[in-house]
């Protein structure tokens, strides 16, 4: 199927600020769909997960049975939805798609489950956000391929057992820790996706460039890869922005110089920090002496919503050791001071010394 990216470009709503945000926004999903690997063989990286999943699926195929339920966990943009779709493709079965927040009542789930055919794959995205009653119904469906549908209310209510053909549940979550134990235990296979290595992201950028018809040279893609925060979604997004720059300001080829200039213009630095990330660190170090400072105060200081700072900037800063969350507030690490080109302040006096302040 030829892919006309021009059709999607206009709809794309990526703001500069969210260039390195982990989540996909709005119509970016359409672009993503076009870049998704379709089979396990096309998946770049995640070697262990790929091998293990390949085995699970092959064994199920040979037995002629639906594979065990699969839980995919890991940070946004690493390939959970992609793998869920691949599972259905590899099993040559339809994929039914829903998400935790969409299932507000157990009845919603019952309706979905009762419409399934043998061997179907049911993908529940954000499975940690399902309601409690739905979750309990899901336990039963996963284990016994049966649910109790409650008809009526109060003392007259009756539960009608409903058989469900064997299916495969694929759950995805960015927060595996939030899943209740009984639910987690009912998955026969759990895959935890890890951040990608730069050379893997480089392969992904090459692959996407080929699909989008963008001319690239090796050090240009390597530059994009190294600023992508270990995340394929971000790598693909940066590629598209660098491509824009290459087409408007250069001869269309993504070279090292073009990638450099473009990413500088979009304010994505060598380590993948963007303007918001740096603003947060800057406020933390320069205005609050490195902290501790509360997240709300920090958000006001950078002129952003608290949620944006907490969900977009902070996870990356914490993961890369620039910022620490402490019970008293956010604290800048020495790496943060260094990254901003500031002198690291001397370590705070130990507690014993604090005591002497009060003449003890």
Ligand X SMILES: Nc1ncnc2c1ncn2[C@@H]1O[C@H](COP(=O)(O)OP(=O)(O)OP(=O)(O)O)[C@@H](O)[C@H]1O
- Secondary structure (3-state) at 172: strand
Contact with ligand X (CB under 6 A) among 73, 82, 168, 226: 82
Pairwise CA distance, residues 322 & 178, whole Å: 25
Q: Could you tell me the two tokens for 136?
A: 């309990």
In angstroms, what CA-CA distances link 326 with 132, 292, 350? 31, 8, 16
Options 50, 93, 125, 282, the catalytic residue:
125
**DSSP characters for 5-66?**
THHHHTT----GGGTT-SS--TTHHHHHHHHS--SGGG--S-HHHHHHHHHHHHHHHHHTSP
Is 81 in the active site?
Answer: yes
81 binds Mg ion (CB under 5 A): yes
230 binds ligand X (CB under 6 A): no
Torsions phi, psi of 293, nearest 5?
-140, 145
Contact with ligand X (CB under 6 A) among 21, 204, 273, 317: 204
Options 174, 221, 231, 333, the catalytic residue:
174
Nearer to ligand X, 80 or 330 (CB): 80
Q: How far is the CB of 352 from ligand X (least distance, A)?
A: 46
Q: Could you tell me the two tokens for 36?
A: 């998704």
Pairwise CA distance, residues 31 & 246, whole Å: 19
Only segment of 5-13, 72-80, 138-146, 322-330 that touches ligand X (CB under 6 A): 72-80
Binding partner of residue 32 among Mg ion, ligand X, none, CB cut-off 5 to 8 Å per kind: ligand X
Ranges within 7-36 binding ligand X (CB under 6 A)? 23-24, 32, 35-36
Closest CA to 43 of 93, 81, 13: 81
Residues of this chain that interact with ligand X (CB under 6 A) are 23-24, 32, 35-37, 43-46, 76-82, 174, 204, 232-233, 236
* Residues annotated within a binding site for ATP: 35-36, 77, 80-82, 143-145, 186, 196, 233
Catalytic residues: 80-81, 125, 174, 233
């Amino acid at each position: 199927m030829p892919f006309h990216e021009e059709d999607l470009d206009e709809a794309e709503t990526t703001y500069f600020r969210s260039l390195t945000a982990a989540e996909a926004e709005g119509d970016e999903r359409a672009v993503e769909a076009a870049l998704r690997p379709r089979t396990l063989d096309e998946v770049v990286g995640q070697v262990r997960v790929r091998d293990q999943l390949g085995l699970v699926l092959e064994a199920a195929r040979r037995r002629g049975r639906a594979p065990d339920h699969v839980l995919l966990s890991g940070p946004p943009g690493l390939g959970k939805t992609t793998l869920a779709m691949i599972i259905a493709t590899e099993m040559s079965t339809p994929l039914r798609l829903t998400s935790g927040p969409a299932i507000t009542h157990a009845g919603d789930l019952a309706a979905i489950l009762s419409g399934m055919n043998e061997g179907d794959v049911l993908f529940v995205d954000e499975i940690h956000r399902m309601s409690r009653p739905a979750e309990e119904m899901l336990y039963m469906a996963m284990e016994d391929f049966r649910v109790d549908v409650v008809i009526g209310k109060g003392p007259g209510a009756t539960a009608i057992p409903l058989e469900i053909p064997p299916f495969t549940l694929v759950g995805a979550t960015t927060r595996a820790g939030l899943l209740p134990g009984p639910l987690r235990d009912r998955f026969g296979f759990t895959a935890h996706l890890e951040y990608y290595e730069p050379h893997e992201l480089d392969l992904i950028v090459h692959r996407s460039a080929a699909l989008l018809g963008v001319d690239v040279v090796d050090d240009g893609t390597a530059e994009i890869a190294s600023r992508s925060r270990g995340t394929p979604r971000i790598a693909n997004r940066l590629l598209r922005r660098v491509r824009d720059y290459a087409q408007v300001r250069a001869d269309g080829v993504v070279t090292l110089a073009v990638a450099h200039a473009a990413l500088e213009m979009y304010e994505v630095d060598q380590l993948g920090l963007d303007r918001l990330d740096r603003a947060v660190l800057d406020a933390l170090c320069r205005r609050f002496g490195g902290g501790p400072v509360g997240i709300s105060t920090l958000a006001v200081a950078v002129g952003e919503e608290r949620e944006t700072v907490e969900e977009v900037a902070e996870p990356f800063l914490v993961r890369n050791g620039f910022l620490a969350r402490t019970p008293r507030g956010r604290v800048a690490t020495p790496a943060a001071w260094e990254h901003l080109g500031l002198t690291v302040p001397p370590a705070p006096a130990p507690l014993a010394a604090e005591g002497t302040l009060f003449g003890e």
